Structure 1
C-alpha cells in the first residue's frame, strides 16, 4: 500500500494537535497551593506534631512555594482543637510571617431574615490572623448532608464571602484571597450540572481569587475531569483562578491534572509528597516534575534540585517509614535501572534526568532482563569499586547463571548484596 500525500497530511495534523498541547503545558505558570502541612499527615498513620510543622514551614518557603496552607479549621468537633490550631496560634503569638498562607474554612449561614452566623472555622481564621482561605462548600445532596439546602447555599455563599472580606486582614493589608472549593465538584457536575453551573455563575460575580473543585475519591476518568474544567472555565473567565484537587483512588490522578491544565485550569492544591487522605493524590511534587519534563520554564522558579529529597523526606517524616519503592517519579525504584535502555537522558524529548530533581540513577538486578551494564553498576554500588572493575565477560556469565538457575526452578533475589556477590564468585570461577 502506497502512503499518499493526503494520509501523511492527516498524520501531521494529528501530531500537530499533540504539539500544541505540549506548548500549552510549557507556557502555563502553575498556581500551586502547598498542603504538605495538612494533606500528607491526614493520610499518615502518625500525623504531625507542632514541632514537625514548625520545621516544615521554612523548608516549603525555601523550596519556592508562595501559597501555603497552614491547615484545616473546618473539621468535625471544632471545640476539640487540633495541632493545626496550635500551629497557627504559635505563628501568631511569635510574630512568624504568614504572608501567602491559607487555612481551610467552611461557609457561614445566612438565615431567611438576613442574620448571618459565621462558621466556627471563620472565627478561628480571624482569631489566628491567617490572611487567606480556601472556603469549602458542597453542592450535591449527599455532600450537603442536611447541613443546608440549595436556597441556603445560594443565600449564604455571598454573605460568607462578604464576612471574610470584612473581618480578615489579608497580605500587606489587602483583602483576603479567597478560593471557594467545591468539595464534591466532580460529583456535582455529573449529578446536577445545571445547579453546579448556576453556583459557578454566582461565584463568577464574587470578589474572590478563584474556585477549586475536587475529585475527592479519585474515581472520575481524565476526560471527565477535563470536561468539567472546560465548563467551569467557560463560566469563570480569567483572571479568576481555577484549581483542581485529585485523589488517586483509581490511578488516574496525574493524567487528570494534565487534562485539567489543558482545559483551562490554572493549577492544583496538594501536598508535595504522594501521601494523601486515601491511597495518594496528584501531588505537587509529581506535577512540578512532569512540567519540568515537558520544558516548562516557570517551574525553574522552584528549587528543582531539592524536589526529590524534600518530597521523600516529608513523606518519611509523616510515616516514619520509607516511601514505597515503586512509586513513579518519587519512589526509590523510579530511578533504579533494570535495563540500560530505560535510562532517561538529559535533553532527550520527554525524558526527566533524576539529577535535575535532586536524584541519581542507581541499578537494580532483575534476573530476567538486566544487562551487563546494569549488573556492573549494581556491583559498583555494593562493592564501592568502579563499574569498570567488572568486565563484560564476567557480567555476561552472571546473566547465563541467572537464566540457568531459573530454568532449574531456583528463584533468587540477586539484587540483595550477599546473593549478588555469591553470583559474582560463581561467574568468576566458571
Structure 2
C-alpha cells in the first residue's frame, strides 16, 4: 500500500471521530429524568412519598422539562407502590404534570379478538399522567410467557390507539407515547430482521418515538452504536430515538455517547449513578460529558447544582455515601493525587469540577503526591493557606514517605492525624 493511500485512510479515521464529536457538541438531547424511579429501584432503602415530593421540585428546578413519575407495570399491581401514591397525590392536588411520564405495559388482543388494556394503562388514565414510556419486548426470552411476535404486532397498534382515546396529554393534547423496547440490544443481536420489521411498523404508528435499552449493560459500545444506527435508518425524524444503558461491563457511558453519535436523540435515566443493577449511564454523567465537549445546550441546566444534587439524591436512596472512586460524581473524582492530573478549562476535553458545581480537593498518595498536592491537603486539614507551608518542608515530607515505605511502614498519610505527624517530622529536620 502506498504511503499516500495509508495517510488517506489514517485521516479518514480521524475525520470519522471529528464527525462524531461534532454531533455530540451540537446535539440538543431529549432527556427524561428518572431520579424518582430508576435510582430507588437498585437502592438499599428507596423513597417515601415525602421523599418524592421533595425531590420533584429539585429536579424540575435543575432544568428537566420531562420527568418520569414512576412505574405502573410492576408485579402484583393490586399491591400499590409509592409511585402510585405520588401520582394520586399530584392528581388530587392539581399539580401541573406537563412533561411527566410513567411506564406502562402494552395491552393485548385476546383469543376472541377483544383488546384488553394492561392495568398499567388504566392507572395512567386514572392518575391523569399525560405521557408514557410504553414497554414491549422483542427477543425470544423477553417475549416468553407474555406473547409471541405476531400477537405483539397485532396488539401494539390497538394499545397505542387506546392510549390516544383515553389519556389526555400535555395541555389536553394527545399523549406523548414512546415505545420502550426493554431488550432492544438483545433483540438486535438475536434477530435483526425481526427487530427492524418491528421498528418499521412502530414508525407507522402515532407515537413520538422509540427507546431502546441495554438492560444488563453487556453489549460493547460499538455494538450499541450499530444497533442505534440501524434503528435510526428505519425511524426517520421527527420520531425520537432514546437510549438507556445499564452498568454491567463498565462501558455504559461510552455506550450512550456512541448511541448519540450514531443517531440517537437523547436518553433517560436518573441524575445519580445508582440504578436497577449496579448503576447506569446516568443523566448526571451524560450532562457532565456533554459539558466536557463544550455542548452549549447544557447551559439550560443549573450546572452549578449538578454534582451536589446528584450526590444528595444518591445518599438519600442509599443512606450511605456515594462511592469515593466513582468517576465524575464520586468524592475522589476531583481529589488530586498529583498536580499533573489537574484538568484545565482551557484544555480540549478537560472538565474542571467547577463546571458541574464541584471543586478540587487533594488526596495524599505516598508514591506520587507532589509538593502542591501536599500543601493543598495540609490547607484542608489545618485551614491555613497552602502557600504558608515552606517548600523545603514539603519536599522533606516526600522523602520521609519514601523512606517509610522502604522500611516496610504502610501509613495512610491522607488521614489528618498521620499527615500532621509527618509534617512535624519533616519540620524538625
The match for 2:81 is: 82
Distance 1:140 1:31 in 2: 26
Q: CA deviation at 1:17?
A: 2.5
Q: CA deviation at 1:148?
A: 1.1
C-alpha contact 2:107 2:159 (8 A) present in aligned 1: yes
Q: How far does the alpha carbon of each residue in 1:323-361 deviate from its partner, in whole angstroms, 9 at most, with x for none?
A: 000000000000000000100111210011100100000
Structure 1 SS opposite 2:153:
helix
The match for 2:166 is: 167
C-alpha contact 2:21 2:261 (8 A) present in aligned 1: no
Change (3 A) 1:379 1:176: same
The match for 2:260 is: 261
Q: How far does the alpha carbon of each residue in 1:207-246 deviate from its partner, in whole angstroms, 9 at most, with x for none?
A: 1011011110100000110010011001100110001110
Q: CA deviation at 1:142?
A: 1.2
Structure 2 SS opposite 1:175:
coil
Structure 2 residue 371 is matched with structure 1 residue 386: no
C-alpha contact 1:177 1:209 (8 A) present in aligned 2: yes
Structure 2 SS opposite 1:245:
strand
Distance 2:326 2:4 in 1: 44
Distance 1:259 1:136 in 2: 23
Q: CA deviation at 1:13?
A: 4.0
Structure 2 residue 222 is matched with structure 1 residue 223: yes
Q: How far does the alpha carbon of each residue in 1:242-298 deviate from its partner, in whole angstroms, 9 at most, with x for none?
A: 011100011010010111011100011100000000010000000000000001011
Structure 2 SS opposite 1:275:
coil
The match for 1:144 is: 143
Distance 2:295 2:112 in 1: 51
Normalising by structure 1, what TM-score?
Answer: 0.98
Distance 2:14 2:286 in 1: 23
The match for 1:207 is: 206
The match for 1:414 is: 413
C-alpha contact 1:109 1:156 (8 A) present in aligned 2: yes
The match for 1:400 is: 399
Change (3 A) 1:231 1:7: closer
Q: How far does the alpha carbon of each residue in 1:85-139 deviate from its partner, in whole angstroms, 9 at most, with x for none?
A: 0000000001111110000000011135431111000010011010000000011
Distance 2:12 2:238 in 1: 31
The match for 2:367 is: 368
C-alpha contact 2:44 2:319 (8 A) present in aligned 1: no
C-alpha contact 2:131 2:175 (8 A) present in aligned 1: yes
Q: How far does the alpha carbon of each residue in 1:160-206 deviate from its partner, in whole angstroms, 9 at most, with x for none?
A: 00000110000011100000001111111111111111110110100
Map 1:19-168 → 2, pairs under 5 A: 19-168=18-167
Map 1:239-278 → 2, pairs under 5 A: 239-278=238-277
C-alpha contact 1:397 1:427 (8 A) present in aligned 2: yes
C-alpha contact 2:108 2:159 (8 A) present in aligned 1: yes
Distance 2:6 2:340 in 1: 32
The match for 2:301 is: 302
Distance 1:190 1:71 in 2: 29
C-alpha contact 1:212 1:244 (8 A) present in aligned 2: yes
Change (3 A) 1:12 1:193: closer
The match for 2:177 is: 178
C-alpha contact 1:34 1:69 (8 A) present in aligned 2: yes
Structure 2 SS opposite 1:265:
coil
Gapped regions of structure 2 (runs ≥ 5):
none
C-alpha contact 1:111 1:152 (8 A) present in aligned 2: no
Structure 2 residue 321 is matched with structure 1 residue 322: yes
RMSD: 1.3
Distance 2:164 2:319 in 1: 40
The match for 2:233 is: 234
Structure 2 SS opposite 1:406:
helix
C-alpha contact 1:70 1:84 (8 A) present in aligned 2: yes
Distance 2:199 2:246 in 1: 22
Distance 2:111 2:239 in 1: 30
Distance 2:397 2:263 in 1: 53
Q: CA deviation at 1:9?
A: 5.6
Q: CA deviation at 1:5?
A: 6.9
Distance 1:6 1:376 in 2: 53
The match for 1:354 is: 353
C-alpha contact 2:106 2:136 (8 A) present in aligned 1: yes
Structure 2 SS opposite 1:206:
coil
Distance 1:114 1:66 in 2: 39
